[in-house]
Amino acid sequence: MLKIDELKVSYGGIEAVKGISLEVPERKIVTLIGANGAGKSTTLRTIAGLAKPAHGRIHLQGEDITGLSPDRIVSKGITLVPEGRHVFPDLTVVENLKIGAYLRRDNINDDLNWVYELFPRLKERSWQAAGTLSGGEQQMLAVGRALMSRPKIIMMDEPSLGLAPIVVKGIFDIIKEINHQGVTVLLIEQNANMALRIADVAYVLETGKLTLSGSGRELLNNEQVKKAYLG
Amino acid sequence: MEFFISTLLFGISVGGQYALIAIGYTMVYGILRLINFAHGDVFMVAGLLGIYLSASFPLYVAMPLVIILTVALGFCIERVAYKPLRSAPRMSVMISAIGVSYLLQNTATYVTGGQPMIYPTLPFLSDTITVAGTSIKWVVVLTPILVVVLVILLTQLINRTKVGMAMRAVAKDFETSQLMGIKINSVISTTFIIGSALAAVGSMLYFTNYSSVVPTVGSMPGLKAFVAAVFGGIGSIPGAVIGAFLIGICENFVKILPFEGATTFVDAFTFALLIIILVFKPTGLFGEKATDKV
């Protein structure tokens, strides 16, 4: 569904992504694991249109989307839940969700209800300013907001960052649920254990290059991965 | 008593005119974190446009044209002088703003020859009425009403519409707004368009009171409007408006204080007021509190 060929991206004069190729099959969960600074975030930011690639192509369902502006990427059906959640703190929960559907012209009420079903907590707090939510609730809101654009692919940058283990488990259950309902997921995580458990396909990224790939289960049992990422 | 009322009315009216300029400062600051130093000069250009256009067209054509051309000017300034510097340090953008300010003033000097130009008399606005025994121009009564109506419309736009929601989002976070599909450049342009349109309306009211337009005429009301915006808490529209009304009222009362030179010290007083307020309330009356939770 999403195909990346020989992608190279420089960031602040340093080549952060050094020619990676990967594929995200439709309706699957794909995860990219790797240490800090391996180029995971840069890869997602480039797909989302926030960074421009120096080299390589990105195709969505056969269509070349390399270098499109972020709003065009959203309209093509790719959304990014940014690292650190970045909800709009002064906007209410429901406004945050509505702004996720900013480009849509059709009726969004069904999707609003869908997100409220996934995250009942958000419905209870819909008139609260998003800045008053807890970290876990903000992460739910960030995911819900991304879903409001009706994406084909949802990309998530470290959704477990800074959250309590019980909350992380809830978030991962939701990721599985979203995927089950037909949304393709591209997930990057430092919490490799959790990510590999739910991933259909996994890649290991080391200093800008892919070093390993396989199914989530294969990588979970891989000696190298165990040593480096699962402790 | 009559003297008191007419001073008060005049203060409210001048304050309303400052308010229309101050909104432009505060909105642009809210989104770009930029003090748009050229804004006072945009106001001056609107004044000159009023003079030149009313010489060739009837007023009912000339005045809407003033608004349209001022809006176009504000839009172009943003696209040419600020947009290319979007990722540059804020100080560079500010220098660019000062450059635009002087460019507008110099161009105005070139076009007018530096001579004071007389603003046309707008029918109705310049007519006088008698309020509480003193005769004043209609503009004095009308300005505050118009300002309040415009501010209500503007806050509705910002709080109730989709574009307003986008403005609030962009003001907080450029990058995440982009991820929502918001085109930040069009949101920023919208901000300049609104600010310039209000400055154009402000110029019509202001120059009906003070009818002479010189190339530097924008700097004082521009500065006072800026003070009003800071005073109210920069970034806050209601803050800017209340700040502007307070400054307008205060300076008109300072003018009638019973000591020699009160009129001369009006402007110094305005800035002293700013300093005092900022000492006690550094973020202004309605300044942004940091509510972000990290």
Alpha-carbon distance A149 to nearest alpha carbon in chain B (angstroms): 8
* Best CA proximity match to A39, nearest among A24, A51, A30: A51
CB contacts of A100 in chain B (<8 Å) are 180
The values of phi and psi at residue A213, to 5°, are -150, 165
| B289: pLDDT strictly greater than 60 | no
- Span A32-73, pLDDT tens digits: 998 888 889 999 999 999 999 999 999 999 999 999 999 999
CA-based R_g, chain B, Å: 19
- Rounded distance between C-alpha atoms, residue B196 and residue B23, angstroms: 10
Percent of chain B with pLDDT over 70: 98
Instruction: Report pTM.
Output: 0.90
Quick check: B169 and A91 CB within 8 A? Answer: yes
* Best CA proximity match to B239, nearest among B289, B284, B172: B284
What does the pLDDT read at residue B223?
A: 87
CB contacts of A131 in chain B (<8 Å) are 291-293
Domain range for residue A214? 2-230
The residue among A88, A143, A161 with the most chain B CBs within 10 A of its CB, best to mutate, is A88
Q: Please, what's the largest Cα pairwise distance for chain B?
A: 60
The residue among B160, B162, B167, B176 with the most chain A CBs within 10 A of its CB, best to mutate, is B176
What are the structure tokens assigned to B12, written together?
A: 């409210």
- Rounded distance between C-alpha atoms, residue A128 and residue A131, angstroms: 8
What does the pLDDT read at residue B291?
A: 40
Quick check: B182 and A132 CB within 8 A? Answer: no
Give the domain CATH number at A39: 3.40.50.300
Percent of chain B with pLDDT over 90: 60
Nearest CA in chain B to A101: B180
What are the residues facing B82 on neighbouring strands? none
What are the residues facing A32 on neighbouring strands? A188, A203
Contact predicate A38/A208, CB 8 Å: yes
Residue A91 is nearest to which of B168, B179, B292, comparing CB atoms?
B168
| B6: pLDDT strictly greater than 70 | yes
- Give the mean pLDDT of chain B: 89
- Rounded distance between C-alpha atoms, residue A215 and residue A201, angstroms: 4
User: What residues of chain A score a pLDDT lower than 70?
Assistant: 231
Q: Where are the domains of chain B?
A: 20-216
- Rounded distance between C-alpha atoms, residue A20 and residue A17, angstroms: 7
Phi-psi region of A39 (alpha: psi -120 to 50; beta: other; left: phi over 0): left
> What's the total number of domains in chain A?
1
Alpha-carbon distance A103 to nearest alpha carbon in chain B (angstroms): 6
Nearest CA in chain A to B184: A71
Interface of A with B in 167-206 (CB under 8 A): none
Residue A90 is nearest to which of B168, B176, B178, comparing CB atoms?
B168
Cβ of A138 under 8 Å from any chain B Cβ?
A: yes
CA-based R_g, chain A, Å: 17
The residue among A44, A68, A71 with the most chain B CBs within 10 A of its CB, best to mutate, is A71
Crossing angle between the packed helical segments B266-280 and B237-255, to the nearest 10 degrees: 140
What are the structure tokens assigned to B264, written together?
A: 């001369």
Q: How far is CA B249 from CA B1, B40, B128, in A?
A: 16, 20, 21
CB contacts of A89 in chain B (<8 Å) are 172, 291-293
Reported as a pLDDT band with limits 50, 70 and 90, residue B2 is confident
Reported as type and span, the H/E element at residue A7 is: strand A2-11
What does the pLDDT read at residue B257?
A: 81
Cβ of A149 under 8 Å from any chain B Cβ?
A: yes
CB contacts of B173 in chain A (<8 Å) are 86, 88
Q: How far is CA B173 from CA A85, A90, A194, B75, in A?
A: 12, 11, 30, 22
ipTM of the shown complex: 0.92
Q: What is the DSSP letter of A132?
A: G
Average pLDDT score over residue span B191-219? 93
Cα angle for residues B149, B154, B156 (degrees, 5° grid): 100
Cβ of B179 under 8 Å from any chain A Cβ?
A: yes
How many alpha carbons fall within 13 Å on the CB side of residue B116? 6
Q: Which of B116-125, B170-179, B218-227, B259-268 has the highest mean pLDDT?
A: B170-179
* Best CA proximity match to A121, nearest among A155, A170, A160: A170
Cβ of A37 under 8 Å from any chain B Cβ?
A: no
- Span B36-66, pLDDT tens digits: 999 999 999 999 999 999 999 999 999 999 9
Quick check: B180 and A99 CB within 8 A? Answer: yes
Average pLDDT score over residue span B58-81? 96
Contact predicate B266/B255, CB 8 Å: yes
Quick check: A71 and B172 CB within 8 A? Answer: no
Contact predicate A187/A28, CB 8 Å: no
What are the structure tokens assigned to B20, written together?
A: 């229309």
Three-state helix/strand/coil letters over chain B: CHHHHHHHHHHHHHHHHHHHHHHHHHHHHHHHCCCCCCHHHHHHHHHHHHHHHHHHCCHHHHHHHHHHHHHHHHHHHHHHHHHHHCCCCHHHHHHHHHHHHHHHHHHHHHHHCCCCEECCCCCCCCCEEEECCEEEEHHHHHHHHHHHHHHHHHHHHHHHCHHHHHHHHHHHCHHHHHHCCCCHHHHHHHHHHHHHHHHHHHHHHHHHHCCEECCCCCHHHHHHHHHHHHHHCCCCHHHHHHHHHHHHHHHHHHHCCCCCCCCCCHHHHHHHHHHHHHHHCCCCCCCCCCCCCC
Of the listed ranges A211-225, B137-151, B203-217, B256-270, the least confidently predicted one is: B256-270
* Best CA proximity match to B126, nearest among B114, B116, B108, B140: B140
CB contacts of B162 in chain A (<8 Å) are 98, 102
Residue A88 is nearest to which of B172, B183, B294, comparing CB atoms?
B172
Residue B180 is nearest to which of A49, A84, A100, comparing CB atoms?
A100
Residue B181 is nearest to which of A74, A86, A89, comparing CB atoms?
A74
Strand ranges across the sheet with A29-33: A78-81, A153-157, A184-189, A29-33, A201-206, A209-214
Cβ of B180 under 8 Å from any chain A Cβ?
A: yes
Cβ of B183 under 8 Å from any chain A Cβ?
A: yes
Mention every residue, 6+ apart, whose C-beta is less than 8 A from residue B77: B38, B42, B100, B192
Q: What is the DSSP letter of A130?
A: G
Alpha-carbon distance B195 to nearest alpha carbon in chain A (angstroms): 22
The residue among A83, A90, A141 with the most chain B CBs within 10 A of its CB, best to mutate, is A90
What are the structure tokens assigned to B143, written together?
A: 């300005």
CB contacts of A49 in chain B (<8 Å) are 178
| B293: pLDDT strictly greater than 70 | no
Crossing angle between the packed helical segments B184-209 and B39-56, to the nearest 10 degrees: 60
